[in-house]
Each structure stands twice: as C-alpha cells, then as structure tokens.
C-alpha cells in the first residue's frame, strides 16, 4: 500500500510566488517538465518563430525564463589549445570520442523575451579545462536557476556564481575539479530549496551533496556521497512537514534539506548503479527514477516513497527490468509516466503508482535520436530530436502524433515553456516559438 503522506514538489524559487509564465530552472517551476501554457503545435523557419537569436560558443544548458528576460549560459572557445596531459584521465573509449581541449570563456547571457535581443553578456571566467568532454557535450551543460531576484549559475569545475538579474556577480564559489568518468563532461544543475542552493558533486573523486546560503555563498552543509560519476540533478520535495532532497546516482539517496542528513537510500552497494544521466521526477507520493546504468543500458525504473522510512528500511515500491531512460529524463503528465527508451524515439507510458504499462512501447513517427527531456503543456507532449525535428503528441483522448516540426538547427538541450511560448536551444541559435498573428 502506498504511504498516505501528502507529498508535493517544493517550488524551486523562494520568491513569494513563481509567475505562471516563468520557467525558473531545470525542468520548470516544479522540476517536472510540465507548464501551464499552450504553445503552438506547428511551426517552421517561416511560421510561428517569433525570433531566432544566434548564441556564441557551445552549451547544453536549458533556457531559464523570468519576467521579460531569458537567461542561458555558454562556453566560448578562445582558440588557445591545451598543452600537456589532461589531469585524472579516465579514458577507455577510442580517441575519436573525445574533443580537443581548448581554453574557454564562460559566459552568462540575458535576452529580451519579446525580441530575442541580447540585453547583457557577462564573462565570469576564462580558463583552460582540465578534462575534455564528449563531442556531443559542452563545458556549459548545467541549467541556471533563479528566485526572481538573483540568477544562480554553475559551471561545475569552473565555478558557481550568483548574479543579479542585471548581470552583476554577487558572489562566486570554487568547489574544485570534477573528474568525470570517461571524460564525458559535466552536467548536474543547481536547485533551490528555500534559502539554500543545492549542488550534486558526483564524480570519480570525493563526491558530496552541498548546500550553500543563496544570499552569501557560505557553505551550510556538505554530506559525502558514494564515489562515482552521475549527471543527475537533485529533486526537492516536501514530505509532510519536512523538506527532502533526492539524488540519483550510485545509490538513490534522500537527504534532510535542513541538515544534509541521509534519510534513506536505495541501490547496489557497489558502483553498479552509477553513470546515471536522467534525473528523478515526482508523482504524488512517489519519486520515480532510472535504476542505473549508462545511456542505452537496460536497468529499469524504480518507484520510491519520499517518506523517511529510516536508513534500514527498504524503500522500493515497484520496479521494472525493462528499458529505461538514457539521457532524457522521464515526465509525469496527466497521471502517466512517460519515458524514452535509452536515447531513442521509442516512447513508453506506465502507471506511476503501479508500474503497469499504459502505452507503448511505440516508435515516434520521425524523432529517433534524443538527448533533450520531453516537456508538456496544453494537453500535449513535446519531444525534441537531435536532428532538428520536434514531435508534438496529443495526450487526449489517446496518445497520438499531431505534428512533426522541423527547424534548421539540432536540439540537444531540453525545451522550456513559459506561458504560450516554447523556447528551443539549438546548437547555434535560441528560438522562441509563439503563435503569430
């Protein structure tokens, strides 16, 4: 029987209220990829594109929208090449998998929401990376988060920064260098839990979960985590009267937000559950996440309660041993848990309370290679593919494709929805998709 606690996602901002047309951080207002608006169902380079703005450098971070601004990060190569041997090399893949190391300028940008014009561009650091990334990766993969007063940005090994919404740095923090398995690049995004900024620091060195005072950057607590790389973003939930932070990695562990104390954990004691890329999501009393493994591996999905059952209790409610998400995170929408198998265009739907199949597996019509996490709004799922196609599926009365839209760019970053606008970060440009008169 499921626990009867009242569980809800803590809003990822500490402002008095998150505007209904805001997308304040990774996966939106409640970190679930679901928005309140109704973006267009069809578009092209000539239809329903309000603006298209070239973005310098390379980044996989998602757009963040608050008020009249759109924020995002990028890493811009300076042309200076790395000399010597990279530190902490963990390479096992063939040489062609790795990109050459170049010095990077780490920048934060603010665009005008109505026009796409760049309002300001702030360079926070220029540095030579100590590791490379996968060619599909970037040095600017974590998504920023805002509380409506400040913008909090993590470049991982290259610093954590708090900026005003006008682009002035308020504080910065150097947490040291991450040593990433296979040198695939960094990716976990910061989240807000009340007055705390929380960061997951999973890597091949000393791993930990960290909480900083969002006003000053002062460290509030640091809790060790099992050694091993993951790219997952923490999930902040409210279980009864307590705030909890759930992090999936070598083990999926829940922490007390006030103290960092471990509440419960699930997963293998060895490193077999590491290399997670998709992040947990919430559905009523449940936290749902991949059971472990690199993209494409079959490790299944698990459902865990957010209630503090104690460190010796077995928190597992249900699990599957079928295909599981790779890089794209799952989404719960209108009572169905949707996920893509690995990084493919094969879509599955499960009952989040039981794990029973509700849909699929079904191959999407034209989207076949996916890194971006699906988003949902207005009774539709939006699945962005790496080759520039975005498939739109109606969820009622049955799940079916209603449009496949193609743009000139390719999409590895997860989309953002704010009001009736859809924001798509491509490899070269940021698009605002909105109904045109």
Q: Give the number of C-alpha atoms closer than 13 A to the C-alpha of residue 142, restricted to the C-beta side.
A: 30
Cβ atoms 161, 124 nearer than 8 A = yes
Query: In degrees, to the nearest 5, what angle opens at C-alpha 92 toward C-alphas 86 and 94?
Result: 95
pLDDT at 308 over 70: no
Specify which residues 132 forms β-bridges with.
Answer: none
Cβ atoms 409, 420 nearer than 8 A = no
Cis amide prior to 349 (ω within 30 degrees): no
Q: Give the other-Cβ count within 10 Å of 81's Cβ.
A: 11
* Model confidence band, residue 434 (pLDDT cutoffs 50, 70, 90): very high
Cβ atoms 374, 358 nearer than 8 A = no
DSSP-derived 3-state class of residue 215:
coil
**pLDDT recorded at residue 309:** 60
**pLDDT recorded at residue 291:** 74
pLDDT tens profile 250-264: 889 999 999 999 998
pLDDT at 280 over 70: yes
Q: Give the other-Cβ count within 10 Å of 197's Cβ.
A: 25
Bigger pLDDT: 176 vs 300 = 176
For the four alpha carbons of 320, 373, 331 and 349, in that order, the dihedral sign comes to negative
**pLDDT recorded at residue 409:** 98
Per residue in 242-258, is it b (16+ CB within 10 Å) or e — as a string? ebbbbbbbbbbbbbbbe
**pLDDT recorded at residue 299:** 65
- Cβ within 8 Å of residue 230, ≥6 positions away: 188, 200, 202, 248, 249, 250, 274, 275, 276, 277
Domain 7-11+20-433 indexed as CATH 2.130.10.10? yes
pLDDT at 396 over 80: yes
pLDDT tens profile 89-133: 566 666 666 778 999 999 999 999 999 999 999 999 999 999 999
Distance CA 383, CA 380 (A): 10
* Model confidence band, residue 269 (pLDDT cutoffs 50, 70, 90): low
- Indicate the pTM of the whole model: 0.93
pLDDT at 328 over 90: yes
pLDDT at 81 over 50: yes
**pLDDT recorded at residue 99:** 76
Q: Give the number of C-alpha atoms closer than 13 A to the C-alpha of residue 262, restricted to the C-beta side.
A: 16
- Please state, rounded to an integer, the average pLDDT across all residues of the chain: 89
């Amino acid at each position: 029987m499921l626990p009867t606690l009242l569980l809800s996602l803590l809003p990822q901002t500490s402002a008095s209220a998150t505007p209904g047309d805001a997308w304040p951080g990774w996966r939106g207002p409640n970190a679930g990829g679901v928005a309140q608006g109704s973006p267009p169902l069809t578009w092209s380079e000539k239809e329903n594109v309000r603006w298209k703005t070239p973005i310098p450098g390379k980044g996989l971070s998602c757009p963040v929208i608050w008020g009249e601004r759109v924020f995002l990060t990028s890493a811009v190569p300076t042309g200076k090449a790395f000399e010597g041997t990279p530190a902490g090399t963990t390479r096992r893949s063939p040489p062609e998998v790795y990109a050459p190391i170049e010095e990077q300028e780490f920048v934060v940008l603010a665009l005008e929401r109505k026009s796409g014009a760049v309002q300001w561009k702030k360079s926070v650091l220029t540095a030579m990376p100590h590791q490379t990334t996968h060619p599909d990766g970037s040095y600017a993969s974590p998504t920023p988060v805002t509380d409506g007063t400040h913008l909090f940005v993590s470049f991982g090994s290259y610093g954590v920064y708090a900026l005003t919404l006008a682009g002035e740095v308020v504080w910065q923090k150097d947490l040291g260098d991450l040593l990433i398995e296979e040198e695939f690049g960094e990716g976990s995004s910061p989240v807000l839990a009340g007055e705390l900024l929380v960061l997951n620091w999973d890597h091949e060195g000393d791993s930990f979960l960290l909480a900083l005072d969002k006003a000053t950057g002062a460290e509030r607590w640091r809790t060790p985590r099992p050694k091993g790389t993951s790219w997952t973003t923490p999930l902040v939930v409210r279980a009864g009267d307590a705030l909890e932070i759930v992090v999936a990695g070598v083990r999926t562990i829940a922490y007390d937000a006030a103290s960092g104390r471990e509440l419960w954990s699930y997963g293998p004691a060895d490193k077999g559950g590491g290399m997670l890329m998709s992040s947990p999501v919430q559905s009523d009393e449940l936290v749902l996440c991949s059971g472990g493994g690199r993209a494409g591996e079959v490790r299944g999905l698990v459902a865990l309660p957010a209630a503090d059952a104690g460190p010796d209790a077995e928190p597992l409610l249900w699990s599957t041993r079928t295909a599981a998400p790779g890089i794209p995170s799952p989404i719960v929408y209108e009572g169905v848990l949707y996920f893509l198998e690995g990084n493919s265009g094969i879509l599955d739907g499960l009952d989040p309370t039981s794990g029973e199949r509700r849909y699929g597996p079904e191959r999407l019509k034209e989207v076949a290679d996916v890194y971006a996490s699906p988003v949902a709004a207005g009774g539709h799922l939006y699945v962005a593919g790496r080759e520039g196609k975005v498939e739109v599926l109606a969820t009622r009365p049955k799940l079916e494709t209603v449009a496949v839209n193609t743009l000139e760019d390719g999409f590895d970053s997860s989309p953002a929805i704010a009001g009736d606008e859809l924001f798509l970060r491509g490899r070269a440009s940021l698009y605002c998709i909105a109904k045109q008169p």
